[in-house]
Every structure is written in C-alpha cells, then in structure tokens.
Amino acid sequence: MNDRMREILSWYGSDNPGTLTNLARLLQAGRLSGTGRLLILPVDQGFEHGPARSFAPNPPAYDPRYHYRLAIETGCSAFAAPLGLLEAGARDYAGEIPLILKLNGHDALGSEDEPTQAIYASVDDALRLGCVGIGYTIYPGSARRLEMYDRLRDLAREAKARGLFVVVWSYPRGGGLTKDEETAIDVIAYAAHIAAELGAHVIKVKVPTANVAQPDAQKVYQRDKIPLTTLADRVRHVVQAAFNGRRIVIFSGGATKSRDEDVLTEVRAIRDGGGFGSIIGRNAFQRSEPHAKKLLTGIAKILARQSTGD
C-alpha cells in the first residue's frame, strides 16, 4: 500500500472496510498495481450490440473463457461482464483477476428514442461469483433516466453495505441529444458529475469531443475560458467535474479503431489529462489474440508512466 493508493482510498471515507478492501484489490491488481491507474477489460458488447457484431471479427472471442485469459495474461486490473459470461468462467479462473458484475443491459433489437436498461443480475450474484464490485449503466438525457437513477440508488446502497464498490457507466443518450451531442464535452462532464452524485466509486464515460451542446453551458465555457482544445484538456475537465478529481474516472475505448496508434494516442491524452485509465473492450477482443495482447501491453506501459512526451 503506497501513498497514492492511500490518497485514493481516503476519498471514500464514508465506506466500510470491506468496500475499501475491494477498491484496494482493484488498485493492486495487474500491471498497473500501485500506480493509481486502471486498465479494465469489459465484455458486455454481446448483449448490447449482438454476438456477430461483437465477436465475428475474432471468432475465439465467442468463448467467455477467452476473455478471462486475455484479461489475466495481459495484466488487466479487472474483468467486467454480465452475469452469464462471468458464470461461464468464474470457477475456472477464481481468484486470478478482480471481477466486476454488470447488473443491467440494453439490447439492440428494438428502436428506442428514450432508452432504458433491464436489470438482469443482483448483488447476491456478485458476491456468489467473488466479485469486487458491481457495474450499472445510466443514460443521462433519456426521458427514462430517473427510473435508472432510482434503481441505482437501491443497488448501490445494497452493494456498499455488503462490501462491494460501484462502477457507473454514465452514457448520455436519448431523444433530446443528437449523436454528436452524446459525446460533447459539456454533456460528458455533466454525465460524470451525475454519476459521482449518485454515489459511484468508479465512473466510466466516453472520450469527449470539443463540441459544446448546451447553449447555456457554451456561455460559461467561453466566459471562463475553459481549455478544450486538446483531448488532454477535455479529459482534465471531465475529471474535475467528478469532485475535482476525487472520484476515479476511466474512459471507454469506444468503437473499434483499425490503427493501434489511434488507440494509443487517446490513452496518452487520458493519462496526460489526469484520467485514471482506460476500459477497453472491442478494441482489444476484436483483434487477434497476439495483436490484442500487444495492444493491451502497450496501453499498460503508457498508463504506468508518470511523464508526458512518450
């Protein structure tokens, strides 16, 4: 336990020793142990986008055990997935990597302007599988967002009482937002702050663009000259929005990028902007196994460095 880890844990002073222990397990796992940064492999895309869209580019990825091995062998901080996928390998790989159970999900079989998510797992399931935390998605911007916030309140209360930490996927979406506005800097910063206010220990958001979606926010950004030019600037602002950096904010890898360097450039900006790391799914498991291992190893090396310019 080093000073940086003690500092991060001190931000969660209302939590019980069990929850703090599981946060420490997360921060001490894998290649980034003790750095205060995280590299997490999430595999909920099969439910969210469909199996062929998710796994056909790399057929071994249809097997849940493939993802366990990939996360373990590349030294990821944790492996996050829905109930069935975790159940398919939890016994075989028990104790080898921290697990995060995703409790809810949304399929791609219908058209919804105002999406919501179904809860398909429980805190009891997370404990049964030996998880260190739970994951939950909210859609700030959806007309059904308040239902999701209400459900998160109850699940987070139960998880914390039983020693688990809470990861919130905060993904702006809904009829009031265009596709471009979903990743606008003001919207992403707002989504991060909402997740922090809802009690998240770890907040997952998308990488923000320089677009400012809300007219009232635009006036403030211009008046106060908030730097938005570089991705590192925008990451810094999102982290600031999460209690001035006193909550762990990690950034999604998003849709698959064909060039490794595009992924690594984003990761450098996340690090340089004070982000706590990356949660990389499709950009890892849609590549061949040797390619994915090389990329994840490269990401971990970048996040492990404290200085810029590499």
Q: Are 287 and 303 in contact, with CB atoms under 8 Å apart?
A: no
From 179, 204, 293, 301, active-site residue: 204
β 165-170/202-205 pair status: parallel
β 118-119/78-81 pair status: unpaired
Helix (H, G, I), strand (E, B) or coil at 102: strand
Which amino acid is it at 35?
Answer: T
Q: Are 275 and 235 in contact, with CB atoms under 8 Å apart?
A: yes
**CA diameter of the chain:** 56
Helix (H, G, I), strand (E, B) or coil at 208: coil
Tokens of 80: 């996050």
Q: Where are the alpha helices (DSSP H) in the chain?
A: 3-10, 17-27, 45-49, 51-55, 64-73, 83-87, 123-128, 145-161, 185-197, 215-223, 231-241, 260-272, 282-285, 289-304
- Our answer to whether residue 204 is catalytic in this structure is yes
- Count the neighbouring beta carbons within 10 Å of the beta carbon of residue 126: 26
Chain length of the chain: 310
Residue positions annotated with a catalytic role: 204
